[in-house]
Structure formats: structure tokens, C-alpha cells
Amino acid sequence: MRILTSLMLGLVTTSSAFAQTAPPVSAPLIPREVLFGNPQRSGAKVSPDGTSLGFVAPRDGVLNVWVQPLVDGKPSGEPKPLTQSTTRPIRQWNFVPGSSQIVYLQDRGGDENFQIFAVDLASGAETCLTPWPGTRASILATDADHPHQVLVSVNNRDPAMFDAWRIDTRTGKGEMVFKNEGGWISMLPDKDWNVRLVTRMLPDGSLEAQMRETAAGEWKPFASWTFENSASSSPFVIAKDGKSVFVLDTSRTEAKNTGGLYEVTFAPKGEGQQWRLIETDPRCEPGDTLIDPKTNRPQAIAFEYLRSEWTPIDPAIAPDLATLKKVADGDFIITSRSDDDRYWTVAFVRDDGPVETYLYDRTSKNASFLFVSNDTLRGLPLVKMTPEVIKSRDGLDLVSYLTLPKGFVPGSSKPVPMVLFVHGGPWARDSWGYNPYHQWLANRGYAVLSVNFRGSTGFGKDFLNAGNRQWAAKMHDDLIDASNWAVAKGIADPKKIAIMGGSYGGYAALAGLTFTPDFFACAVDIVGPSNIVTLLQSIPPYWGPMKAMFEQRVGSLDDEKYLASISPITFVDRIQRPLLIGQGANDPRVKQAESDQIVAAMKKRNIPVTYVLFPDEGHGFARPENNMAFSAVTEAFLAKHLGGQYEPIGNDVSESSAQIPAGADLVPGLTK
């Protein structure tokens, strides 16, 4: 990791081809290293006994877990690095109840076959808890009632099925406590870690939940949801008293469409089962839920329409939420709690600055500042992100987020080039808050617009299901409608709109150049599928139990003609605007072949394309060196075709693992 010593203001460059029409930018250029390098500290968590603080920070340029003592709720002494990853950043970790260890997850080169490791706080000794190569593990539960243990799901027996294992984190010894022989896609344990509630997807795409009244009892129906309700309905926690299950549901009359949070009597369907609506919001679905670690009962729930808003459920916690709301600007997230529930770590997210983290003492109602994620962002010319609700051509509300170059005033300033930044999934959503891509592009002189097109999650089942089998159709129309809105508002220059995104966003970029070849000035595809037939043929085996969902929302392999009709590679001859592609060689979701085949098809037809391949990445770029390298290529590419400013590529590509199989000569400075 290089040390940043200045803002490198002398390295501001403008594409010569567009030098006369480059938009005026009053702000100095923010170096990529500030925006895409490692955070200084992030992801704070308090240990279960409240005596330690952990967070992620660079160790020799790679994000590792650090730990610092807490004395009376205040950091004491110097933080010390605990883990020793030398290649990939550690991004998933937690303390183990008992407070003598942490656990973290790590894959190899982005293959998403995560293994779980335990590390002793005192000695630093590390133990692999899931020593099965080529398998994928995740943590189902940790609990104060089970010190020095984790409940894990892992597919070591069958690549398509996840079993539940109880593992001792000190010895690494474990035992299978639930063998998944029913195609279950979720498992809920009770307080004794017996799996008592499971769900699976049926061939028609509906969701079935079954329960057993005792650990060895017979499985009985608990609930079921039609396909239309299946994506937004599911049980998510069993109360520790064993009397209730808390369920998200969009099928019941009290909270149709956006759904609600329900408490359901833990009983088989039709045998005295009762449903009680706890909370709902007509604008959006329930989001993050704060669960009482002692009772497993929900205490508060966040609803996110334009921004995240907490609603208290437990009156005892309402004063704490009210206090936190006044601590700092932005929306807050409670990231951890001590076992006695006295100490919380709380992260405040804002749109024009770094994340601020506090340690909150519930006894004194005092929040002590801990750190910001990236202090070098302070004082830089960052800009605000504005929520906008844009109407689609058929009347849907598209919640979107707009970021404008500093000093730009719609209606007064001359329209500027715009980047339409499309989220992945597509069953996901864009949100308000600090976004390095928005800040980076706005700083280079572009308006940036992110759109929650139909098919995005969180806005109700009707909005989600409106995207079924609408790839390259109405989902794409929403992106075009939002772009035209920006033109009509005097924000975007209609001749200089780029489309960019990752995963489904990469597909949208390819669709933009093939299904609407005259609309976008250029496109940037990051790990996006080009052929929906080969995409669905190559999904990971553990997605197999959800095959019906892909068939209903995307299309069926039984109808390859239809899948070909929504595949950009089918219409590669239509591409007439510049294209940049980024791909991770180890991507398990969108295989390297998805990028290879469209690049080959374009080269065969002498259609220019630039292709950047990272041999040590998967579905996106986790290593900062690689992220900065692709960003360097992207901003030079955009400057050439949109006319914005850019920081020259310099050594960013050579210091990464990037390979350039095609089109290095098409991007300014890349051949050097």
C-alpha cells in the first residue's frame, strides 16, 4: 500500500479529443487511492464480555482483524493485529462468545468457497474449523449460552446441500447436528441449537416451511407462500422461550405488497397457530431488525424507502434509538452488542463523508467517538447524494439516487456527461450513503444516477414481480426512462451518457449497447453475463435448490430460444459504441467464459473492446490494488468518450494482477 502524501493536483488530465467540451469542474481531483484504497479502520465490534474492541484495518497493506482492550467502556492501550492474511482482505468476522477468540471467513482468490477460522486473542493461534477443500461454509449462530462454539452450515457432504455442524472453536472438533436431506435452503435453530424450522423451494417456485415440535419430532407444515410472495416472505428467528417464530410475510391482508413483521405461535399450520402483525410500512418492506440477544425477540426494525428509519418495537429500547439519532449526522447501524447489552458499537453513514463509529453505553446514554473509516476524506470536495423518485413510462415509482459535480446547479448549469450506475443482483437495491463510485465520478465531472429499476428488492412484491422475465425489456426501459428524466431536468447531456455496473449491472451495460445501441455513448461491464443460456448452465451447485426461482424470474433452460433473445451476445453485431469489460478469473457466479465469449465474438467481427482480467479475483474486485487498477482504466476510458477529467493510470495497473487480453491501445495510457 502506497503512502498518500498529497492530492496530486498536478496530475489532472483531460482527454484531448474532448478538451474543448469538457465540463467545468471547480473541485480539485481526489486521488483514486483515497477513494478506493483500504479504509484506515472499519467494522468495529465489542466483545461479548465488553472488555475488547475489534475492527478491521490494514496490516502490511491487507485488511486484517485488530483488537484493543476496553476498560470501563473506553479504549485502552494500543490496538494489536490478530490475523495474518497476506493476500485477500478479511471482510467477515466476529467475536466468539466466551471472548477468548474470534472467527473469520476467507475464500481463495474470490472463489466464494469460504472456510471458517478461529483465532485465539491471547496467543494468536489459528485453527481452521471447516478443513474441507472446495466447500462453502457460513455461520448459522453464535450465542452466549454456547461459549466457545459456533453453529455452522457447510456443504462438505453434498455440494448442493448445506448441513448444520456444531464446532468447538478451541479444538476444531465438530459434529453434524442436522443432515439436510430435504433440499432445505434455510435452517433455523432453537436456543439449544436444534434445527427446528426449515424452508425449501418447490418446483413451481413457491416456498414451503416445515417445523418440528421437538428436536427429534416429526416434520409438519408451518407455512407456505406462493411464488409471488416467496422472495419477501420467510421465518428468520425462533424466540428463546420456544413459543414464537418471527416471520416476514407479504401474503396476509394486513400488510399485503410491502409485507410486515409478524409474531407467529410456534405450532404447526392449523393447530392453534396464530399470527400477530408487529409492524409494517406501506412504502417499503421491513429491513434490518435489532434482535434482543437474551430473548431472540425483535426490539426495533428499520424501514428503508429513500433512507433508513428505525421504528422501536420494545419500549425499553426507544430511548436509546432517540439518543443515537442525535449523536451524529447520517443513518446509523448497530453493528454489535455486549452480552449484558450495556455496550453497543454504532456506525453512522453519511453521503458526503466517511463512516463514523461510536461506542454507546446504554447505562449512561453516552456515545464515545471511536474512529472514522477514512480520515483522509475529511476536508475533500465530496458532494451530497439526493434521493429522487422517477416515474417509469408505465407509472412505477423508481427510487433513485443522484450525485452531481460540485457547483453544478440543474437548470442553471450546462448539462454534463452522466454515468448511469446500475446495481447488481438484480434482486438487490441501491441505497443512500457514502458511495466511492458516485464521489469518484462526480469529482471527475459527471452526474451519477443509480436507479432501483423494477425487480429491485425492498419496495414490495408487486415491484419485484414486475421484473419477472423482463431482462432486456421493461427492466431496461426503466433505466432508459431514468436517463431521459435526467436529460429533461437539464442534468445530463443526451449524447454523453455512459452505462456502468457490476453483475446484473454489467449485463445491463451489455444490454445497453446491444438492445439500445444508439442511446449510450459507451459502457463499462464488470463481471456481467453475456449469454443467459451459459449463465444458467454454470450456476454453482448450491444454487440448484433455487432453480425454480431463476426459471420464473429470468427464464428456463427448456426455452433456450427465449434465453438467447435476452442475451447480449446474440446481438453482438449491433454494438457500435466503446465497451470496457472487467472480469475475475475465479468468479463462481458469472464465470470468466461470460466475458471471454463476448470479447471473442467482438474480435471476430473487428468490433473494438477493452478487456481487463484479474486472475486472483472472483465476483468483483476485493483487493484494493485491483480495484484501483480497474478504476484507473475506467476513468481514462470515460474521459476519452465522455470528456471528463481523469487522473492518469500511472502505476496502478502494473501494481495489480491485471491482464489485458484485448484493447489496451484503446485506453489512454494503458499501453504504457
Catalytic residues: 503, 587, 619
H-helix or E-strand spanning residue 116 = strand 115-120
Whole-number Å distance between alpha carbons of 289 and 247: 11
Q: How many CB atoms lie within 10 A of CB 600?
A: 17
Residue partners of 55: CB distance under 8 A and separation at least 6: 41, 42, 43, 44, 45, 65, 66, 68, 79, 357, 371
Whole-number Å distance between alpha carbons of 465 and 285: 14
Whole-number Å distance between alpha carbons of 229 and 264: 17
Is 177 in contact with 194 (CB distance < 8 Å)?
yes
Residue-wise DSSP of 68-106: EEEETTEE-S--EE----SSS---EEEEPTTSSEEEEEE
403-438: b or e for each residue (b if 16 or more CB lie within 10 Å)? bbbeebeeeeeebbbbbbbbbbbbebbbbbbbbbbb
Whole-number Å distance between alpha carbons of 324 and 525: 40
Q: For residue 141, what are the β-bridge partners?
A: 151
Whole-number Å distance between alpha carbons of 422 and 594: 18
Is 226 in contact with 280 (CB distance < 8 Å)?
no
- What's the grid cell of residue 234? 420467510
CA angle 72–77–81, rounded 5-degree value: 115
Whole-number Å distance between alpha carbons of 566 and 182: 33
Q: Which is nearest to 475 in space by CA: 512, 448, 519?
A: 512
Residue-wise DSSP of 299-341: EEEEEESSSEEEEESSGGGHHHHHHHHTTSSSEEEEEEE-TTS
Kindly give the pairing relationship between strand 92-95 and strand 101-106: antiparallel
Q: Which is nearest to 33 in space by CA: 64, 2, 11?
A: 2
Q: Using CB atoms within 10 A of its CB, is residue 243 exposed (0-12), middle (13-18) or buried (19+)? A: exposed
Is 435 in contact with 403 (CB distance < 8 Å)?
yes
Q: For residue 276, what are the β-bridge partners?
A: 263
Is 156 in contact with 132 (CB distance < 8 Å)?
yes
Whole-number Å distance between alpha carbons of 233 and 457: 12
Q: Which is nearest to 546 in space by CA: 233, 235, 249, 230?
A: 230
Residue partners of 46: CB distance under 8 A and separation at least 6: 52, 53, 54, 70, 95, 336, 337, 338, 343, 344, 345, 359
Whole-number Å distance between alpha carbons of 518 and 450: 21
How many helical (H) and strand (E) elements, i.e. helices and strands, does the chain have?
12, 39
Q: Which is nearest to 367 in space by CA: 335, 325, 336, 324?
A: 324
